[in-house]
Amino acid sequence: MKTAFRKSFLLATLCGGLLMGQAQTVSADYTPTAENLQARREFADSKFGIFLHWGIYSLFAQGEWYMTNANLSKDEYAKAADAFYPHRFDAKAWVSAIKAAGAKYICFTTRHHDGFSMWNTQYSDYNIMNTPYGRDILQQLADECHLQGIRLHLYYSHIDWTRDDYPMGRTGRGTGKDPRLANWDSYYDFMNNQLRELLTNYGEVGAIWFDGHWDRDQDSIPFDWQLGPQYELIHQLQPACLVGNNHHLSPFPGEDIQIFERDVPGENKAGLSGQSVADLPLETCQTMNGMWGYKVADQNYKSTPELIHLLVRTAAKGANLLLNIGPQPNGELPAAALQRLQEIGAWTRANGKAIYGTRAGGIAQGDTIVSTRRGETLYLHVLDPSLTQLQVNIPARVREVRSFPDGRPLKYMFRRNCLTLDLDIPEDCIDYIIEVRCGGLD
Ligand code: GLC
């Protein structure tokens, strides 16, 4: 590693970073390789991924934060590992259902904040091999993803509510960790050893998706996550592997994508996405119901039209949607999630061309008309079927206007850059798409 170039400095430009204790060792000299840049483009083209939050927390059926929310003793909680036997887990069924939905990648929680590893790691006994199930979940999933040609991204928690060596942050305070045993060097080595395993033993990894940086945002003494060398390690092991970090801040050097939690880029309805939008491939993660990990009480699933609108609105911002499912403790994806995957699949098969490989269209009227773009072709997505007329400004010449995907020519008026056309949209149309072929679009 080029330690000579490593710089430790305060990222004070990150709004309030100094006050919030965001000292960082970052790699100031990161230049992405050609294969990394190619991977970024492919990622930006792919538009749709499925997030899977699965671990022993699923057994409690209270979401993945149950341990800290209920201040459970880490030792009592760990007994769940001895009951983890997901006898219906079928990697082929998962990957097939996800692929049929039109998703191009899967992001899997290898180790969440509770500290349990879902793969055969030699760096912690608290792992899937030491459950009655005793088989490497990640291996099965990775093999199936590679077989079916769907990319595998790995979620990896920076924080740990179980290990004593992870210095106590603002969460996981009631789990019985011994603060006297905090040892950042030991924990840091542990993480990097695990990352080396993940990037060596499971074939091509599309991205490492970090989470938990915000655990130190109330530290009085700035905490240095030493992200620079960690990111360097990842890029050394797999140069095309994209690094993303769900820190809710502007990207740090060494990151290849920017993540937004529960909001499309540029919106901040959930309160976690106030950061500015960077010139990197973007991803918005969102839940299908309300929780990431399986929660028995949460049957509040978003409807298929809502999810498709979310996918379209996200693509219209130039971002990918990483849509979450919390698999059940028995290893199955919930029926409500499977049904939505199927319905989304029917939609993406018919309309995918207006999403995949596109970039932000730049033309929008609130949430009812948004747009994607490929070269000189604009796709206007009308998300409200009750609209009877469309009137948008197009900063180019308009050559052809057709309904999509059937290609039927539409009558329109185009005067002084204003495109006007009458609409007669069937009531049950989720997204009425108009294809506009332009000339001279910027
Ligand atoms: C938040 C939650 C975490 C979840 C993640 C997914 O950071 O703390 O549980 O995995 O969001 O975006």
**Using CA atoms, how far apart are residues 124 and 42, in angstroms rounded to an integer?**
34
By the 10 Å C-beta count (0-12 exposed, 13-18 middle, 19+ buried), 356 is classed as middle
Pairing of strands 369-374, 359-360: antiparallel
CA of 292 to the centre of ligand 1 (A): 7
Query: Residue 7's pLDDT is what?
Result: 37
Distances (CA, A) of 72 to 9, 57, 170, 182, 288: 37, 12, 16, 19, 27
CA of 211 to the centre of ligand 1 (A): 7
Please state the atom number of ligand 1 nearest to the C-alpha of residue 261: 12
Q: What is the DSSP letter of 302?
A: P
Residues with CB under 6 A from ligand 1: 53, 64-65, 211, 246, 261, 285, 292
Tokens 């709004």 identify what position? Answer: 15
Mutation pick for ligand 1 pocket among 292, 323, 325 (CB with most ligand atoms within 8 Å):
292
Cβ(194)–Cβ(123) under 8 Å?
yes
Residue positions counted in the chain? 442
What is the DSSP annotation of 174-193?
A: TS---GGG--HHHHHHHHHH
Query: Residue 13's pLDDT is what?
Result: 32
Mutation pick for ligand 1 pocket among 62, 161, 209, 211 (CB with most ligand atoms within 8 Å):
211
Cβ(404)–Cβ(380) under 8 Å?
no
Cα 252 from chain centroid (whole Å): 17
**Using CA atoms, how far apart are residues 394 and 413, in angstroms rounded to an integer?**
12
**Using CA atoms, how far apart are residues 119 and 202, in angstroms rounded to an integer?**
10
Please state the atom number of ligand 1 nearest to the C-alpha of residue 63: 9
Please state the atom number of ligand 1 nearest to the C-alpha of residue 53: 10
Strands across the sheet with 432-439, in order? 359-360, 369-374, 377-382, 432-439, 397-404
Q: pLDDT per position in the chain (442 positions), as tens?
A: 333 333 333 333 333 333 344 556 666 689 999 999 999 999 999 999 999 999 999 999 999 999 999 999 999 999 999 999 999 999 999 999 999 999 999 999 999 999 999 999 999 999 999 999 999 999 999 999 999 999 999 999 999 999 999 999 999 999 999 999 999 999 999 999 999 999 999 999 999 999 999 999 999 998 999 999 999 999 999 999 999 999 999 999 999 999 999 999 999 999 999 999 999 999 999 999 999 999 999 999 999 999 999 999 999 999 999 999 999 999 999 999 999 999 999 999 999 999 999 999 999 999 999 999 999 999 999 999 999 999 999 999 999 999 999 999 999 999 999 999 999 999 999 999 999 999 999 8
Cα 279 from chain centroid (whole Å): 17
Distances (CA, A) of 221 to 12, 217, 226, 247: 14, 10, 15, 18
**Using CA atoms, how far apart are residues 297 and 102, in angstroms rounded to an integer?**
28
* β-bridge mates for residue 105, sequence order: 49, 151
CA of 311 to the centre of ligand 1 (A): 19
Query: Residue 442's pLDDT is what?
Result: 86
CA of 53 to the centre of ligand 1 (A): 9
Please state the atom number of ligand 1 nearest to the C-alpha of residue 109: 10
**Using CA atoms, how far apart are residues 363 and 393, in angstroms rounded to an integer?**
8
Residue 422 three-state SS: strand
**Using CA atoms, how far apart are residues 223 and 212, in angstroms rounded to an integer?**
13
Look at ligand 1, atom 7, and give the residue with the nearest C-alpha: 211
Task: Give buried/exposed letters for 104-140 (b at 16+ CB in 10 A, else e).
Answer: bbbbbbbbbbbbbbbbbbeebebbbebbebeebbbbb
Half-sphere exposure of 2 (CA within 13 A, CB side): 13
Mutation pick for ligand 1 pocket among 261, 283, 298 (CB with most ligand atoms within 8 Å):
261
CA of 146 to the centre of ligand 1 (A): 26
Mutation pick for ligand 1 pocket among 246, 248, 258, 295 (CB with most ligand atoms within 8 Å):
246
| C-alpha closest to that of 319 among 251, 404, 260, 378 | 260
By the 10 Å C-beta count (0-12 exposed, 13-18 middle, 19+ buried), 258 is classed as buried
The dihedrals phi and psi of 44, each to the nearest 5 degrees, come to -65, -30
**Using CA atoms, how far apart are residues 59 and 133, in angstroms rounded to an integer?**
13
Q: What is the DSSP letter of 244?
A: E
Query: Residue 53's pLDDT is what?
Result: 99
* β-bridge mates for residue 420, sequence order: 391, 413
